[in-house]
């Protein structure tokens, strides 16, 4: 089935560094969602984006809905140990009779001591 390309698959960073990850697709979406999953938990919604070009922040997290509607970016500033986890993007298209949502495979964030 169709997948989003989520990059990178894995990241190793030092505490305090900024983090950037992205999702791209050949299809357009009218909603982009970013989730974070901690071990043993289900994904938790971080940011929802509903408009092309939209830039939304949630604390140290900032996400953008790409102007082409085919991509989205998530940035984390000044990373801390609790940022460790798997970050998922999801693109959703609801238009006329078309309704689909596709998840990326996740970006696993590791923070080195």
> What residue ranges bind other proteins (CB under 8 A)?
1, 31, 33, 35, 37-45, 48, 86, 88, 90, 99-103, 105-106, 108
- Residue in the block written with tokens 């990373």: 79
Nearest distance in Å: CB 108, other proteins: 7
Largest CA distance in the chain: 49
CA atoms within 13 Å, Cβ hemisphere of 63:
25
Least distance (Å) from other proteins to the CB of residue 103? 4
Instruction: Fill in the DSSP letter of residue 107.
Output: E
User: In the bound complex, what is the minimum distance in angstroms from residue 69's beta carbon to other proteins?
Assistant: 17
Which of 110, 92, 108, 90 is closest to 100 using CA atoms?
A: 92
* Cβ nearer to other proteins, comparing 36 with 69: 36
78 versus 110: smaller Cβ distance to other proteins: 110
């Amino acid at each position: 089935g169709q997948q989003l390309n989520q990059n990178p698959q894995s990241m190793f960073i030092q505490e305090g560094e900024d983090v950037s990850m992205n999702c791209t697709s050949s299809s357009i979406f009218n909603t982009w969602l970013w989730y974070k999953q901690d071990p043993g938990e289900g994904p938790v919604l971080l940011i929802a984006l509903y408009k092309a070009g939209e830039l939304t922040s949630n604390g140290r997290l900032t996400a953008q809905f790409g102007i082409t509607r085919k991509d989205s970016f998530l940035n984390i500033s000044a990373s801390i140990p609790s940022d460790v986890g798997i970050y998922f993007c999801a693109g959703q298209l609801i238009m006329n009779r078309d309704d689909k949502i596709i998840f990326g495979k996740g970006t696993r964030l590791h923070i080195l001591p």
